[in-house]
Structure 1
Amino acid sequence: MITIANAQLWVHDQDEALAFYTEKVGLEVRADVTLPEMGGFRWLTVGPAGQPDMAIVLMPVPGPPLMDDDSAGQVRALMAKGYAGTIFLATDDCWASYEELTGRGVEFVETPEERPYGIDSGFRDPSGNHLRLTQVRDLATL
């Protein structure tokens, strides 16, 4: 059986991303390991409490030799536009979660809105990544 263990988001600054995802979004640290034998590479993951089998890797945009400067610049440009990746977060009450996250300082780019599939909203992280916060309706009732 194949399962999904991790999803990756590019980030400009791992410490800034870690603070955002733990203090504002409310995720928990899954792993924070620095590997000296790999040039100080830091494996940093966060995930929702109660869902231990899934984590988001907060990965800095690498430079040479892993990624040439031109490609790294293209990734950063896509991040700035919100097109480098999206994480979809589910909630039982979109409005309550919206109020809670707003109270913690998350700035939404889309307030909760009724959609055919449920209530949906959106915000971005400090690196520009787009996140959706959705209360999904039972699709069997649609």
Structure 2
Amino acid sequence: MINKLVFATVYVLNQASAYYFYVNKLGFKVHTNAPIGKDNRWLTVTPPDQPEIEISLLLVTEGEMFTKESVKAVTELIRKGTFGHGGFECNDIYATYEELKSKGVEFAQAPKEEFYGVAAVFKDDSGNWFSLTQKAKQS
């Protein structure tokens, strides 16, 4: 029986740039940074309050996972912002939104009231989209 999710993958176009974005802009912690293959790394980060789940920042490159054709297709989808998506949660969305904006994070949607709380939408340096959410207070 499966017990838990231990990592999820975000495909990136440049691992050095992704490292900088996730660590210096989003404030994540590096969990693993080890070479795999000749031009790739097993690079994982964790949100500061959730060290038990790793986000693998995996380079889209030709090799075991991708053919030359699939690298081109996936790269194009990522750049268009139509491939990756995820969601992050915070305690104070307005303060977090302002902090991330001041660090150069590009937002497609400012914080907006939704039925589940308040949400904003940003993209990483590769073009992957993420929602940033503050859950509604339970009554």
Q: CA deviation at 1:40?
A: 5.2
| Cα distance in 2 for residues equivalent to 1:68 and 1:40 | 15
The answer to whether the 8 Å contact 2:116/2:136 transfers is: yes
> In angstroms, what is the RMSD of aligned CA positions?
1.6
| Range 41-50 or range 60-69, more displaced | 60-69
Equivalent position SS for 1:58: strand
Aligned to 1:22: 23
Aligned to 1:102: 101
Q: Does 1:90 align with 2:92?
A: no
Percent identical residues = 35
Equivalent residues, number: 138
2:35 maps to amino acid: T
Instruction: Give CA-to-partner distance per residue, 1:5-57, whole Å, 9 cap, x none.
Output: 1110111110000000111111111110114xx43541001111121111110
In the TM superposition, 1:4-43 aligns within 5 A as 4-35=5-36, 38-39=37-38, 41-43=40-42
The answer to whether the 8 Å contact 2:78/2:127 transfers is: yes
Aligned to 1:54: 53
Q: 1:40 to 1:128 in 2, by over 3 A?
A: closer
| Cα distance in 2 for residues equivalent to 1:5 and 1:90 | 18
Structure 1 stretches of 4+ with a deviation exceeding 6 A read none
1:105 maps to amino acid: G
What runs of 5+ residues in structure 1 fail to find an aligned partner? none
| Cα distance in 2 for residues equivalent to 1:64 and 1:105 | 32
1:56 maps to amino acid: I
Aligned to 2:62: 63
Equivalent position SS for 1:109: strand
The answer to whether the 8 Å contact 2:40/2:59 transfers is: no
Q: Give the TM-score, by structure 2 length.
A: 0.91
2:110 maps to amino acid: T
In the TM superposition, 1:63-142 aligns within 5 A as 63-64=62-63, 66-138=65-137, 141=139
| Cα distance in 1 for residues equivalent to 2:105 and 2:84 | 18
The answer to whether the 8 Å contact 2:6/2:54 transfers is: yes
Q: CA deviation at 1:80?
A: 1.3
Q: 1:99 to 1:137 in 2, by over 3 A?
A: same
What runs of 5+ residues in structure 2 fail to find an aligned partner? none
